[in-house]
Amino acid sequence: MKRHLVIATAAAAALIAGGTVTAAAVSSDAGSANAAPGKQLSAQPAAPDAGSGTAQVQDGRSSIRMQDDDANGQDLREANAAKVTAPDAAAAALKAVPGTVTGLDLDTDRPGLVWEADVLGKDGKWHEITLDAGNGRVLNQHVDQDEDDDAQERAAARNARTDAAAAARTAAPHGTVTSVDLDDDDRGKAVWEVETTTKTGKEHKLLIDPQSGNVTTAPAHDSDDDDNDGADD
């Protein structure tokens, strides 16, 4: 994922804007250490207008607990543990913020196993959404305040005929989709980069044209590094 932003400021703003209802939801979470993982709190903040970017602070934890230990096979463990597919994650992200999904990444973070989604909202803002990889529930969402985004990336997202979900479905026969990214950094032309992991742990990278949907197979992600682990270290 290209867009990362510390959420503390957004979360604090949400607490201020949410008033007593939001405060009640957060205090309930803080005081319920024995609550079942993944269970929504009974006191929830009022739902913001779609695309407003107000941080959604719930219990913040994935129903799939997993630690990122950077060990070999971590990608395979994540792919096997996820219950929400990339297309379903895209749909959940768009339900939270209508617009265009430009990136999806299955990752283990502090909350556990999550899908991290980038959405160019209909409001013209970039939104970052963290989704539970076990049930698709929104764990957090906030607006990326970075004003230096690429106008070409915006245009590519708006003009793409093949969306992130369709790109993921196209790549699915090659394994479990773990990453989808609309990339134009190195080519001057936007392309969906989709990474998959097979049941045996083999990784593939597929390049999918956002206009035609045509697929090109690229070398497996970091295949050279994987084959030579320890040789260069």
Among 141, 62, 129, smallest CA distance to 101 is for 129
Taking a C-beta distance cutoff of 8 angstroms, is the pair 75, 220 a contact? no
Q: What is the pLDDT, as a whole number, of residue 117? A: 98
Distance CA 94, CA 76 (A): 27
User: pLDDT tens digits, residue range 133-178?
Assistant: 999 999 999 998 765 667 888 888 989 999 999 999 999 999 999 9
Quick one: 3 exposed, middle or buried, by C-beta within 10 A (0-12, 13-18, 19+)? middle
User: pLDDT tens digits, residue range 69-95?
Assistant: 666 788 899 999 999 999 999 999 999
Distance CA 31, CA 89 (A): 30
Distance CA 24, CA 22 (A): 5
Encoded amino acid at 213, one letter = G
Q: 144-164 burial, b if ≥16 CB within 10 A, otherwise e?
A: beeeeeeeebeebbeebebbb
> What six digits make up the tokens of 60?
């913040």
Distance CA 20, CA 212 (A): 50
Distance CA 87, CA 82 (A): 13
pTM beyond 0.85: the answer is: no
Q: What is the pLDDT, as a whole number, of residue 52? A: 38
User: pLDDT tens digits, residue range 32-51?
Assistant: 333 334 333 332 333 333 33
Distance CA 85, CA 164 (A): 12
Kindly state the average pLDDT of the residues 8-30: 35
Q: What is the DSSP letter of 146?
A: -
Alpha helices (runs of H) in the chain, residue ranges in sequence order: 8-30, 74-81, 86-96, 151-159, 164-171, 223-227
